[in-house]
Structure 1
Amino acid sequence: FQYLSYPMGVYMSLLGVPDAFTAAPATLVGFIDMFIPALISTNLPSEFTRFVIGGLSLVQIIYLTEVGSIIVKADVGIDMKRLFIIFLERTVLALPLLVLAAHFILE
């Protein structure tokens, strides 16, 4: 995931997240497992980054366990590829909001 998450590291560094490239794999691995992002973020030195990854992990858990399962069960015609694209879109949209919330709460 280190190489796959490089674009997310660039995006997070543009948003001003400390240790962005170290935390970047946690942004994508949430699609596979809901607990690994939290495990990855425990070793991050920045409280700001841990807050952002923790919040993003919650957004991803809510999407995959609630909305994603309903979409798959409802037979709407969305395959796993499109479900992953929606996951990425939600991740990209949630990051600036979480960075903004982290600035308000932690600083």
Structure 2
Amino acid sequence: MPSHRVLTLSFELHVPEGLRANIRGARIDAAIVALKSAVQSLAPSHFPWADRIVVRSEWSYRWLDSTDVITMPPTPDNTVTEGASGVPDDLELERLGPGEAR
């Protein structure tokens, strides 16, 4: 059975608004290669379970950019109660498949 476990880390490197720098494609490419190499060199010692790294690169001008945070109604599954962590132990996690209830 294939694993559906993925560790995703996102980094956004922002250029300050109003900075009048002409950042050329070659410089962006070099930055991507350097950052990708750094992650590749750290991954085996810090996350040895990974069998691959997927790198997504995007350079964009955010003319329109918005984020909405939608708060879901409280349920027993998304609410922490005093004295209960709400997180199954490792043994229980190993027995459960994707979408299976605790």
What interval of TM-score do these two structures reach, taking the shorter chain for normalisation? 0.3 to 0.5
Determine which structure has the larger helix proportion and give its number: 1
Q: Is the radius of gyration larger for structure 1 or structure 2?
A: 2
Normalising by structure 2, report the TM-score.
0.33
Normalising by structure 1, report the TM-score.
0.32
